Amino acid sequence: MTKTITMIEDLRILAKARVPRMFYDYMESGSYTEGTFRANTDDFARIKLRQRVAVDMTNRTLASTMVGLPVSMPVAIAPTGLTGMQHADGEILAARAAAKAGIPFTLSTMSICSIEDVAKNMDRPFWFQLYVMRDRDFINRLIDRAKAAECSALVLTLDLQILGQRHKDIKNGLSAPPKPTVANMINLMTKPRWCLGMLGTRRRYFGNIVGHVTGVMDMRSLSSWIADQFDPRLSWDDVKRIRDRWGGKLILKGILDPEDARRAAETGAEALIVSNHGGRQLDGALSSIVSLPSIVSAVGDKIEVLMDGGIRSGQDVIKALAYGAHGVFIGRSFLYGLGAMGEQGVTLALDIIRKELDTTMALCGLRDVRDVDRTIIARTPEPFN
């Protein structure tokens, strides 16, 4: 099986066959017209690289750092909600694959496996992503729980205080676990591997939330829960307060505008992530890769600039680095692997990206990923622009 999987797209096709429609659609959708979701990948495809020859390609290295921590390549796993619904125990499996690959794993607030559960099943620290909710006591407790679990960075997401609509989630009646409707039952009958996995685990609810928020024992409708709980008043002062309570490395996620990037740099956070939430929030926003250069020129010397959105290959990674990203996060690329084949699929996705990055770097005439810069980008002659 693994021999026929040679690129991330192969994993997507297999995930589509194996994951219940409701959760595959949740992953593969963007908000509204999905214009920004598509732009994230389309804009990468438009960038061309300079081919260089007759340069020594031996002794190549992809090793780098992200927020000062060593990584085997400058790629981290992005926080994604409901990962344990793409595959049973999904967060633990993906965290293990990331640890084996020597890259960071970020656990979402909206994960199925809880912070404590992932920590118990890992021998390496991971990163925790925080959403800010109205219940500040709950947020404080979440931060303290991440500290107690020895998470090595906090990723504070700033671009989802109100939810961009994804049509398919409404039409499918997205919930975790799925409701026993006739349509769901018929679909689940075609996904025996997934069902077997789910029957074998007790991790089927939002592990960080259910039982930890007063009055919330069941949160079947994700969108209405977010509308009720997420705090639309989130401000830069809150960011500073969270930074102080956390006290460790802080990464601000969801920056798409140079002015916001300047504000982010003033907070004293270690890094920001240029991101439009994988095209799931402001439909019509610029793609992440198009937004990146102006943010790097605005704050690149004051704060580490990371990015995510649309990365489906090692070629995409090198293009992001060329435009000034210090490192990148992958969302769907690892989720395809997870939905297709569990931990092995995430490992495969990371191997694919690593090999593509290595080969592409060599063909661009470089041996050290830290040397990648704008000079590897080819200028398209006038008539072909």
Whether residue 277 lies in the annotated active site: yes
Interatomic CA distance for residues 257 and 381, integer angstroms:
29
CB of 344 to ligand FMN, least distance (A): 20
Q: Is residue 314 a contact point for ligand FMN (CB under 6 A)?
A: no
Q: Is 167 exposed, middle or buried (0-12, 13-18, 19+ CB in 10 A)?
A: middle
197 touches ligand FMN by CB under 6 A: no
Q: How far apart are the first and last CA of the chain?
A: 40
Q: Which is nearer to ligand FMN, 197 or 309 (CB)?
A: 309
Please give the torsion angle defined by the CA atoms of residues 242, 243, 248 and 254, in that order, rounded to the nearest 10 degrees: 90
Query: 60-79: which residues touch ligand FMN (CB under 6 A)?
Result: 78-79
- What single-letter amino acid sits at 141? R
Stretch near ligand FMN under the rule CB under 6 A, chosen from 63-71, 93-101, 132-140, 324-332: 324-332
Taking CB under 6 A as the criterion, the residue among 66, 93, 103, 110 binding ligand FMN is 110
- Beta-carbon count within 10 A of 295 CB: 28
Which listed range, 60-68, 88-96, 293-301, 330-338, lies at the site for ligand FMN (CB under 6 A)?
330-338
Does the footprint of ligand FMN cover residue 108 (CB under 6 A)?
Answer: yes
Q: Are 273 and 154 in contact (CB under 8 A)?
A: no
Position 105 contacts ligand FMN (CB under 6 A):
no
Handedness of CA 304, 305, 310, 312 (dihedral sign): negative
Q: Does 311 sit near ligand FMN (CB under 6 A)?
A: yes
Give the single-character DSSP code of 47. -
Tokens of 104: 């960071």
- The answer to the question of residue 40 lying near ligand FMN (CB under 6 A) is yes
Q: Which of 129, 172, 175, 313 binds ligand FMN (CB under 6 A)?
A: 129
Q: Quote the least distance from Cβ 45 to ligand FMN, whole Å.
A: 13
Out of 87, 167, 212, 277, the active site residue is 277
Neighbours of 226 (CB within 10 A): 18
Q: Does 175 bind ligand FMN (CB under 6 A)?
A: no
Which residue carries 């992503």 as its tokens? 129
The answer to whether 157 contacts ligand FMN (rule: CB under 6 A) is yes
Question: CA nearest 345: which of 353, 334, 358?
Answer: 334
Question: In the structure encoding, which two tokens stand for residue 93, read together?
Answer: 């499996």
Element (H, E) at 300: none
Q: Is 277 in the site for ligand FMN (CB under 6 A)?
A: yes
Contact residue for ligand FMN among 197, 207, 331, 342 (CB under 6 A): 331
If the CB atoms of residues 64 and 281 are measured against ligand FMN, the closer one turns out to be 281
Stretch in the footprint of ligand FMN (CB under 6 A) among 171-179, 205-213, 276-284, 352-360: 276-284
Q: Which stretch binds ligand FMN (CB under 6 A): 232-240, 242-250, 327-335, 350-358?
A: 327-335
Handedness of CA 85, 91, 96, 100 (dihedral sign): positive
Q: Which is nearer to ligand FMN, 251 or 363 (CB)?
A: 251
From 194-202, 210-218, 272-280, 353-361, span contacting ligand FMN (CB under 6 A):
272-280
Query: Contact, 307 vs 325, CB < 8 A?
Result: yes
* Contacts of 296 by beta carbon, 8 Å cutoff, 6+ apart: 305, 323, 324, 325
Give the angle 155-26-309 at the CA atoms, nearest 5°.
45
Return residues touching ligand FMN (CB under 6 A).
26-27, 40, 78-81, 108, 110, 129, 157, 253, 275, 277-278, 280, 308-311, 330-333
Which are the catalytic amino acids? 277
